[in-house]
Amino acid sequence: MTRFSLPTRRALAAVPATAVLVLLPTVAYAHVGVSPDTTAAESYASLTFRVPTESDNASTEQLVVDLPTDTPFLSVTPRSLPGWDVEVEVEKLDEPFEVEGATVDEAPARVTWTAQKGHEVPPHEYQEFAVRVGALPAEGTEVVLPAHQTYTDGSVVDWDDLVGDDGKEPEAPAPVFTTTAAEGDGHGATAGHTDTAAAGADGAAAAADEPAVDPVGRWLGAAGILVGAVGIGVALVTRRRV
């Protein structure tokens, strides 16, 4: 009978657990997925897309995420990612709607991240792409965010399939999540206000580097520009006097 010392037995006992830990990332990162920091209706959410490179000999060089057009986001702010360029495309809506007395006829339609040379995601590694969006639609809405992953060899993987009636996960499932009840007073007003404040705190440091698209803000921003110009003029006059 072969005997092992105590350290050896401990090492052997750890092998199964270690093997599981090594295998877990392979399973978890098998497809492009989205992780929202909140799913509360009428709130602002930070969406993180985890994108693995499954190819053995090509790297991921671009990610395109399609945004909902039936329940559009009026505010979309990507988080800056070193070595990657990001663009938010705005398109006309099929059915304009009213927001605070103004007619909105366009909204962000997609976000595109493109790697600068040398910053592509290598084989069997992954990258995370984040964007803050709002406000989320009503409780129970399935938010589908089809993603399109381009490799350096020219191939494109479309992660846009939905779960069928049989309940089985498709081969290339689209990133998706379902909204839940609004927070705060149950009507979403408090939740929306709180998340908007949080969005300002989270994005203040990177505001200069992050392209933000907010159609409603375009109208409200004109008054802010005027006030800001007056403030700058007063500051300059004060400096000269000093």
The domain locations on the chain are 30-214
d(CA 164, CA 160): 12
d(CA 101, CA 106): 15
242 confidence band (pLDDT: 50, 70, 90): very low
Cα 133-139-140 angle, rounded to 5 deg: 105
What single DSSP character describes residue 158? Answer: E
d(CA 140, CA 105): 25
Whether 162 and 173 have beta carbons less than 8 Å apart is answered as yes
Name the fold adopted by 30-214.
Immunoglobulin-like (2.60.40)
The two structure tokens encoding residue 201:
């705190």
Span 89-112, average pLDDT? 91
Query: pLDDT tens, 12-35?
Result: 455 454 444 444 443 444 689 999
- Among 57-61, 69-73, 173-177, 206-210, which stretch is predicted with the lowest mean pLDDT? 206-210
Report the residue count for the chain: 242
212 confidence band (pLDDT: 50, 70, 90): low
Answer whether 0.85 is exceeded by the pTM.
no
